[in-house]
């Protein structure tokens, strides 16, 4: 077992089981690049402040660069006996450059070091996740643009309600993803402050230039309270919350894709590359990507709940419980990235059954509201018009026909206000095209919405 940096106070070696339980290296090793980045900025600041000599600073920076390159290239593997990524890198640095490596930790604690690393890591990861969301967002813009006039039933309570278009339906998810990206951006803005210099909890007596180190690392500023700087994990919870909302949106879309791909709906055919078969039933084509995304949403929710429960009872400042923040948020990040890539491919390649969508809209009395509106425009109060339309729907259900199949004489037996123009008024095309207010499903309105969506960056 390797010597601990804090061994001076202790007379016994750490028990192996206790050491294995305590170590975070197996999961925090993924922050090695951010840890080295932070150490380099700290080193440059220490030199500028006259706390490190130019010679020691040069050795440290050169040593850290070498360690980074060797880990990247696979030449240096992580020592499983190391307590965490910070200790591993510091020990390796000291092995390579001698006593100068021991001076790097001057004016710094692992408490502010890990708080720095996780912020840097999350900001790097959020850039990647945002790019993946944007790919799905743009895929939906293309798909919606191809289906501006594809009529389908809109649903409430999963019952056919009113006719819309698939383009309009997909625009709803475009709006959701846009909000997801703005939430992500907002979360990054709030975490973009450096805790480096907070020390263990009370800052340091060394004349550090926190602002210079923060600027070196690209932060907007520094945290304003040393206790908060090392014990804050709001930003980790917020990221998990943002990712949970994103997964909720993907899960809702997944549910619809699963339904639409059934023979009962048959609105879409999934590409073979994004579906699987059965080991026993030759006819099966299963929407596994959508089902897994729906299932993995619960996993990300669990990560969020784990973080909330870990932090809910902790006194200030740092507590070892907070080591649990990384596995949860790392899992949420990995799950979201793992979902977005195949999900985007599935959406991009799914085949739209336009005929089935229009048949469903026509057969579900989705134009019943438009019939009521037609009667209102003829002078009938809306509540009376609603009643007439409802009676006509009941008549059609008993007769096994659609509203557009009702003869004019039959129509007039329910209301003498109905004239020949009723057929044009309640055609599905008219129902959709006449809804032209902002946010409605007419092709022109959807095109404007897509043009606006395309401007979002």
191 and 248 fall within a common domain:
yes
Domain that holds residue 426: 360-452
| Catalytic (active site) residue 278 | yes
Please give the DSSP secondary-structure letter assigned to residue 314: P
Indicate which CATH number applies to the domain containing 123. Answer: 1.20.200.10
Strands of 157-310 (E only): list them: 159-165, 193-194, 221-222, 268-269
Residue-wise pLDDT for 234-281, tens only, equals 999 999 999 999 999 999 999 999 999 999 999 999 999 999 998 999
63 falls within a domain: yes
Residues 11 and 96 in one domain: yes
Sign of CA dihedral 402, 407, 413, 419: positive
CATH number, domain containing residue 90: 1.10.275.10
Q: What gap in Å lies between CA 412 and CA 393, rounded to an integer? A: 14
Give the residue carrying structure tokens 């625009």.
171
Residues 377 and 307 in one domain: no
Q: What confidence tier does 12 reach under pLDDT thresholds 50, 70, 90?
A: confident
Answer yes or no: do 195 and 327 share one domain.
yes
Distance of alpha carbon 439 from alpha carbon 421, whole angstroms: 27
* Judgement on whether residues 57 and 136 belong to the same structural domain of the protein: no
Phi then psi for residue 300, to 5 deg, are -65, -40
Same domain, yes or no, for 342 and 226?
yes
Structure confidence by residue, pLDDT tens digits, 386-443: 999 999 999 999 999 999 999 999 999 999 999 999 999 999 999 999 999 999 999 9
Same domain, 75 and 97: yes
Cα dihedral 271→275→277→281 (10° resolution):
-80
450: phi then psi, degrees, rounded to nearest 5: -70, -40
Per-residue CA distances from 375 to 368, 404, 414, 431 (Å): 11, 15, 11, 14
Query: What pLDDT digit, counting tens, does each position of 33-86 carry?
Result: 999 999 999 999 999 999 999 999 999 999 999 999 999 999 999 998 899 999
332 in the same domain as 228: yes
Give percent of the chain with pLDDT exceeding 90: 92
Residue 339 lies in a domain: yes
Distance of alpha carbon 11 from alpha carbon 20, whole angstroms: 19
Number of domains present in the structure of the chain: 3
Give the contacts of 373 (CB within 8 A, at least 6 positions apart): 385
Q: What is the pLDDT of residues 90-109, one digit of tens each?
A: 999 999 999 999 999 999 99
Q: Do 314 and 442 sit in the same domain of this protein? A: no
Residues 59 and 33 occupy one common structural domain: yes
- pLDDT 10s digits, 189-209: 999 999 999 999 999 999 999
Catalytic entry in 2, 62, 278, 434: 278
Which CATH number is 368's domain given? 1.10.40.30
Q: Where among 354, 376, 407 does a domain terminate?
A: 354
383 and 317 co-located in one domain: no
Supply the DSSP string of 327-385, one letter for each residue.
HHHHHHHHHHHHHHHHHHHHHHHPEE-HHHHHHHHHHTTTTHHHHHHHHHHTT--HHHH
Residues 406 and 332 in one domain: no
Residue 355, CA distances (Å) to 23, 251, 309, 359 in order? 59, 26, 50, 6
386 counts as catalytic: no
Distance CA 328, CA 330 (A): 5
């Amino acid at each position: 077992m390797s010597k601990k940096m804090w061994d001076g106070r202790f007379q016994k070696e750490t028990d192996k089981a206790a050491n294995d339980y305590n170590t975070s290296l197996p999961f925090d090793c993924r922050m090695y690049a951010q840890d080295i980045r932070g150490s380099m900025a700290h080193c440059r600041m220490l030199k500028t402040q006259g706390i490190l000599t130019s010679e020691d600073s040069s050795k440290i920076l050169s040593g850290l660069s070498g360690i980074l390159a060797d880990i990247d290239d696979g030449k240096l593997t992580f020592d499983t006996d190391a307590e965490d990524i910070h200790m591993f890198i510091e020990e390796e640095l000291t092995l390579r450059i001698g006593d100068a490596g021991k001076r790097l930790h001057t004016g710094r604690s692992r408490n502010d070091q890990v708080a720095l690393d996780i912020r840097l890591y999350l900001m790097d990861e959020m850039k990647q996740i945002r790019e993946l969301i944007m790919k799905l967002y743009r895929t939906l813009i293309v798909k919606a643009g191809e289906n501006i006039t594809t009529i389908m039933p809109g649903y409430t309570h999963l019952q056919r309600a009113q006719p819309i278009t698939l383009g309009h339906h997909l625009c709803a998810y475009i709006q959701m993803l846009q909000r997801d990206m703005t939430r992500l951006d907002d979360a990054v803005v709030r975490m973009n402050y450096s805790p480096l210099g907070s020390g263990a909890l009370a800052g340091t007596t060394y004349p550090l230039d926190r602002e210079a180190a923060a600027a070196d690392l690209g932060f907007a500023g520094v945290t304003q309270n040393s206790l908060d700087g090392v014990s804050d994990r709001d930003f980790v919870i917020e990221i998990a919350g943002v990712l949970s909302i994103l997964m909720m949106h993907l899960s809702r879309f997944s549910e619809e894709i699963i339904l639409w791909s059934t023979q009962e709906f048959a609105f879409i055919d999934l590409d073979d590359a994004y579906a699987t078969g059965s080991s026993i039933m030759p006819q099966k084509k299963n929407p596994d990507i959508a089902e897994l995304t729906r299932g993995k949403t619960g996993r990300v929710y669990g990560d969020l709940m784990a973080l909330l429960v870990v932090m809910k009872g902790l006194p200030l400042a740092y507590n070892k419980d907070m080591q649990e923040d990384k596995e949860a948020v790392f899992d949420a990040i990995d799950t979201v990235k793992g979902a977005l890539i195949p999900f985007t491919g599935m959406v991009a390649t799914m085949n739209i059954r336009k005929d089935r969508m229009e048949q469903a809209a026509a057969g579900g009395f989705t134009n019943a509201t438009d019939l009521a509106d037609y009667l209102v425009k003829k002078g009938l109060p809306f509540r009376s018009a609603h009643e007439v339309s409802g009676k006509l729907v009941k008549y059609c259900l008993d007769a096994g026909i659609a509203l557009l199949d009702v003869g004019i004489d039959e129509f007039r037996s329910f209301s003498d206000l109905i004239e020949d123009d009723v057929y044009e008024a309640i055609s599905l095309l008219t129902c959709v095209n006449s809804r032209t207010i902002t946010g409605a499903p007419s092709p022109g309105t959807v095109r404007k919405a897509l043009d606006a969506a395309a401007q979002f960056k």
